[in-house]
Amino acid sequence: MIPMPAPDPAIMARRAEIQDALRALLDNPGDLICEGLALKVYETDGLSAYRQVPLAVVLPRSTTEVARLLAYCHDQGIKVIARGSGTSLAGGALPTQDAVILGVSKMNQVLDIDYDNRCARVQAGVTNINVSNAVELENFFYAPDPSSQLACTIAGNVAMNSGGAHCLKYGVTTNNLLGLTVVLMDGRITTIGSEAMDGDGYDLLGLFTGSEGMLGVVTEVLVRILPKPEGARPMLVGFKSEELAGACVAEIIGQGIVPVAIEFMDKPAILASEAFAKAGYPTDAQALLIIEVEGSELEIEAQEARIQEIAGHYDPVSIKLAENATQAEAIWRGRKSAFGAMGQISPDYLCMDGTIPTGKLPEVLSRIKQVGEAYGFQIANIFHAGDGNLHPLILYDANAPGEIDRVEAAGEDILKICVEVGGCITGEHGVGIEKRDAMMLMFNETDLQQQMRIKRVFDPLWLLNGAKVFPLDINPADTKGQRIAA
């Protein structure tokens, strides 16, 4: 089980007083949640095997409200954890018992759209898909598209530097931002970046993107929007083995071809997704690639022909091109619903998030299979193959004694493999609590101390999401460490 800091008894003793003070700071007193089942909704996030009920939840609707709340918590020494929609798969929004959850879900307005300069300003609680929905009529879109895009917020995307299926061509969140409005822990409001394509001075925008809510609370985001391509078409390519599919990906990228997306699914994922979405996936294949190309019709046909030629080197069991918009939508519906569909074959899963060089895919897929066999777990693979961002799903039962400890050990072994082949421990889910101790696989203590110095510049009292990212034995947020309740 993953350890968490012991709650501060002085804060816990003042629970009622703190809740009353928070209520008075909100424009709408009903935006405070502090008791009963409503509070339990916030006890966990996507890493759902772990849970703790927070001290209180506040749901502000403006930057000025956020500033008031943070200033009070700073003065009183109260921990704060920012939360979008709670879709974090690494425990990034998991509360501690003495912390206030600051949710941005009610800050959900699109504030301004500037088509001439190809940008939109949105509040932090706008969902990922609703950015694209807001600009769709003018034939624009927002490129990053996590599988949870129907629910996940832009603030959460910024915190974890989220990607998605189309990040191969368009990049992850950091490549699609122009500016942020951030409230620091002491209540000061600052603006980072602007509509300009580049700015002078330090790259604070890059620093805050992926900082997992530890430096400040994002309240507004200036995103890039892009004109939609002339056309796009996915294809399905089935293979006799995971290793052959991985080798095909490596050659496509090695040949300098950059499709808009290359997604990988193995046999368990294929079967679960097909049973759920009826997308027309080849159920006789051991592995499947979804490869999408875009451009004019001539460009699409040329790319498809080249990719089919490369795929032919790896003895595919099937190649199927989407013939119309309905088939294309079905292909992506199957992929986007794949994580949820796994619930049909396992009560729980731990979704890992490592990144490797694409040339190492065949080797790493083989080694991941060996990890599953060694621990007695089935592992399903669903991931962004084009940029080597792996998402092995270790299937287990959280109610079975000892399973959580074993599944965490298996996950750590997978991350070790990623690092050994020249990769890293996260691609888009962040570190959170899940991979906190795995930071030592990539960094020595000097490296981590330097990163923590940056944290102290913005949050010297270590009040913002303090129990995340850094191992607890060197983390100022904890001196005792207790086991988190499952």
HSE value, Cβ hemisphere, 13 Å, CA-based, for 107? 30
pLDDT recorded at residue 199: 72
pLDDT recorded at residue 486: 41
DSSP run (H or E) holding 294: strand 287-294
pLDDT recorded at residue 1: 66
Each residue of 457-476: b (16+ CB within 10 Å) or e? ebbeebbbbbbbbbbbeebe
Structure-token match 């097909």, residue found: 274
Give the count of beta carbons closer than 10 Å to the beta carbon of residue 432. Answer: 28
Same domain, 267 and 201: no
HSE value, Cβ hemisphere, 13 Å, CA-based, for 431? 21
Same domain, 162 and 262: no
Tell me which residue range forms the domain holding 188. Answer: 110-227
Residues 6+ apart with CB under 8 A from 35: none
Same domain, 292 and 240: yes
Residue 99: inside a domain: no
Residue 354: inside a domain: yes
Residue 93: inside a domain: no
Residue 40: inside a domain: no
Residue 434: inside a domain: no
Residue 173: inside a domain: yes
The CATH number of whichever domain residue 176 belongs to comes to 3.30.465.10
Closest by Cα among 132, 153, 149, 130 to 141:
132
Same domain, 279 and 249: yes
Domain end position, chosen among 420, 438, 457? 420
Q: Is 256 left (phi over 0), alpha (psi -120 to 50) or beta?
A: left
Same domain, 171 and 206: yes
Same domain, 367 and 320: no
Residue-by-residue pLDDT tens, the chain, 486 positions: 677 778 999 999 999 999 999 999 999 999 999 988 999 999 999 877 788 999 999 999 999 999 999 999 999 999 999 999 999 999 999 999 999 999 999 999 999 999 999 999 999 999 999 999 999 999 999 999 998 999 999 999 999 999 988 999 999 999 999 999 999 999 999 999 988 777 778 899 999 999 999 999 999 999 999 999 999 999 999 999 999 999 999 999 999 999 999 999 999 999 999 999 999 999 999 999 999 999 999 999 999 999 999 999 999 999 999 999 999 999 999 998 888 898 888 999 999 999 999 889 989 999 999 999 999 999 999 999 988 999 999 999 988 998 999 999 999 999 999 999 999 999 999 999 999 999 999 999 999 999 999 999 999 999 999 889 999 888 776 544 444 444
Same domain, 371 and 332: no
- Rounded CA separation 486/483 (Å): 9
Closest by Cα among 147, 148, 144, 150 to 167:
144
Alpha helices in 337-460 (DSSP H): 338-341, 361-375, 403-420, 439-442, 445-458
Overall number of domains in the chain: 3
Same domain, 209 and 257: no
Determine contact, residues 192/242, Cβ cutoff 8 Å: no
Same domain, 312 and 361: no
Domain end position, chosen among 366, 386, 420? 420
Residue 427: inside a domain: no
The CATH number of whichever domain residue 401 belongs to comes to 3.30.70.2740
Determine contact, residues 92/213, Cβ cutoff 8 Å: yes
Report strand pairing: 56-58 vs 99-103: parallel
Residue 443: inside a domain: no
Same domain, 312 and 360: no
Same domain, 304 and 257: yes
pLDDT recorded at residue 478: 57
Domain end position, chosen among 370, 405, 420? 420
pLDDT recorded at residue 196: 76
Structure-token match 């939840």, residue found: 57
The CATH number of whichever domain residue 255 belongs to comes to 3.30.70.3450
Same domain, 372 and 403: yes
